[in-house]
Amino acid sequence: MEKVIYDCDPGHDDAVALAIAIESKNIDLLAITTAAGNQLQERTFNNARSLLKLFKRTDIPVYKGAPKPLLRDLIIADYVHGKTGIDGTTLPSNEDIPKTTDSANDAMFNIISNSKEKITIVATGPLTNVAILLLSHPEIKSNIKQIVFMGGAAFGGNYTPNAEFNIYVDPEAAEIVMQSGIPVYMFGLDTTMKAQFYTKDIEDLDKAGYVSKKFADLLNFFKKSNTVPIFNEGEEEGIHMHDPCAMAFLDNPDIFKMYKLYVSIDRDAGQSLGMTVVDYNQTTGKEPNVHVSFGLKNELLIDLIKKSMFELDKEY
């Protein structure tokens, strides 16, 4: 069972990833830390707390991370996730859950340094909080088993033609993570645009219990911003389940096809800013530093998502 800290910016697809984490028999979710990304820090923090209320797991602590990227101004994705950061349904109020006072950085440091087992960090927002941890406490690197993140792409982007949103928001943080020397696993658009959840799957959720129905509403909102590649040959384009890929990897690594390659981040102003430069032809001669995912068995991911929701329904 993996001991996990989940750094996220919920976010519709972050919420699906969280549902997987809560229900997976292979994941022991110790804490959530929230990143500024899809929405402002205050909103992603609030959303994480409300999701735990929905899942009846308010025993899991949520810690607030940095309000902005390391060097740059914050860019948010309200054009995808809406005004609240998770539009499309009403989540339960979290006012009765006591607020933590530790920062995400202090909480991550305490959990990792006090743990007998190595900790896995799953990150599905900009990598700001993870980079701050590695910069401020380099001595705990040896107690981090792996960093599994959603972001980047070997080919293309979704925020610019070359950059994926999470990496574009904080490219300096991403570079710190890539060069950390810790085992890093990357779930970029090469995989996550193929991780598709179809209309019929949303309908299945809508016919199920309380939590599933909430997710059907959330996903119907999320669907509106789904990008459809021009080369989709007339087939239905399902919703891209970006963040669930990173979490599903811990539940069942066999879902994904991984290759270890050298990856660095373009931080120069210009049309490739925020690009994950993946040396897929191994032309640089540099030692591979990242396990990059290039594909998945989508039906296994869909089953895992639905199974997690149906389990959560049983709480009602």
Q: Is 243 in the site for ligand BDR (CB under 6 A)?
A: yes
DSSP secondary-structure letter at 289?
Answer: -
Q: Which of 20, 36, 76, 80 binds ligand BDR (CB under 6 A)?
A: 80
Residues 109-128 touching Ca ion, rule: CB under 5 A, are 124-125
Bridge partners of 191, per DSSP, are: none
CB neighbours of residue 296 within 10 Å: 23
Nearer to Ca ion, 14 or 279 (CB): 14
| Angle subtended by helix axes 12-23 and 242-251, to nearest 10 | 10
Structure tokens at 275: 């690009």
Q: Is 50 in the site for ligand BDR (CB under 6 A)?
A: no
| Calpha distance 67→48 (Å, rounded) | 15
Q: Which of 94, 100, 105, 124 binds ligand BDR (CB under 6 A)?
A: 124
Nearer to ligand BDR, 70 or 241 (CB): 241
Among ligand BDR, Ca ion, none, partner that 23 touches (CB below 5 to 8 angstroms by kind): none
Q: What is the number of helices (H) and of strands (E) in the chain?
A: 12, 12
Nearer to ligand BDR, 140 or 151 (CB): 151
Q: Which of these segments, 10-18, 51-59, 197-205, 265-273, binds ligand BDR (CB under 6 A)?
A: 10-18
86: Cβ–Cβ under 8 A, 6 or more apart, which residues? Answer: 10, 11, 12, 15, 47, 51, 218
Q: Is 175 in the site for ligand BDR (CB under 6 A)?
A: no
CB neighbours of residue 220 within 10 Å: 16
Catalytic residues: 242
| Calpha distance 156→164 (Å, rounded) | 8
| Calpha distance 21→60 (Å, rounded) | 12
Q: Which of 6, 149, 165, 185 binds ligand BDR (CB under 6 A)?
A: 165
Site map 28..47 versus ligand BDR, x via CB under 6 A: ----------x---------
Per CB under 6 A, residues contacting ligand BDR are 11, 13-14, 38, 77, 80, 124-125, 150, 158, 164-166, 242-243
